Amino acid sequence: MTLDPFTTAGLVGLSGALLGIGLFGIVTRRNFILLLVAIEIAINAAVLNFVYFAAFASNPSSGLNGQSAAIVVIGLAATEIAVGLAIVLALNRIRGSINVTEATALKL
């Protein structure tokens, strides 16, 4: 398979758009759960790129590198969600709210 410029542009555009949506969400959302959702979207932008470009790798083994990186990232994302939700629960128990702007105990 060879790289088709139009498909490539579309796909890179798609992943760029996903990343932008994710970043926008990360910067603007105050609800912790929505924040996690936005992070997931940004991560998926990277996964999409991995999978797409891996398909065009010149040799199969480096293609596999890309695929496996995608798997690793998905696994990482799942882990991150698990940890994140645990933090949400703890935060809710301590503060009674999951608004991230109120959790400022890390301030110097």
Partner 1 sequence: MFLQDLASWAFLVPLLMVLSFVLVGFLGPYLKNWREGGWIAVVISGIAMVLGLLIAAGEMLSPGRYTDLHTTWISVPGNGTGVFPNGFSLVMGTLVDPISALMLIVVNVVGFLVLLYSIEYMQHDRGLSRYFAELSLFLAAMNGLILADNLLEFFLFWELVGVCSYFLIGFYYEKPAAASAAKEAFLVTRVGDVLFLLGIFVYFGAYATAGAAGGWAANGFLFVHGTNPYIPIGTGANPTLLTIGGLLILGGAAGKSAQFPLHVWLPDAMEGPTTVSALIHAATMVAAGVYLLAVASLFLGFTAADQFAIVAVGGFTTLFAATMAVVNPDIKRVIAYSTISQLGYMVLAVGAGFTMVGLYHLFTHAFFKALLFLAAGAVIHAVGTQNLFKMGGLRKVMPVTWLAFFVGALSLSGIPPFAGFWSKDDILSSLYGTLGAHPDYWPFFLMAVATVFLTAYYIFRAFFLAFGGDHPRDDSLPHGHDPSWIMKGPLMVLSGLAIFAGVFVFIPGFSNLLPGIGVPPTYTVTDILLSAMSVGLAGLGIGTAYVLWGNGRVFTLPDDSPLQSIRTVLLRRYYIKDAYDAFGQRVIYGIARIADFTDRFVIDGAIHGAERSFAGLNRRMRGIQSGVVLDYTAYVVAGLVVVLVVLLVIAPWLLSMWGGT
Where does this chain bind partner 1 (CB under 8 A)?
Answer: 23, 26-30, 35, 100-101, 103-108
CB of 46 to partner 1, least distance (A): 13
Reduced 3-state DSSP string for the chain: CCCCHHHHHHHHHHHHHHHHHHHHHHHHCCEHHHHHHHHHHHHHHHHHHHHHHHCCCCCHHHHHHHHHHHHHHHHHHHHHHHHHHHHHHHHHHHHCCCEHHHCCCCCC
Q: Minimum distance between the CB of residue 22 and partner 1, rounded to whole angstroms? A: 10
Nearer to partner 1, 38 or 70 (CB): 38
Q: Which is nearer to partner 1, 18 or 35 (CB)?
A: 35
Cβ at position 30, least distance to partner 1 in Å = 7
- Kindly tell me which of 19 and 70 has the beta carbon lying closer to partner 1: 19
- Note whether 52 and 69 are within 8 A (CB): no
Minimum CB distance to partner 1 smaller for 1 or for 27: 27
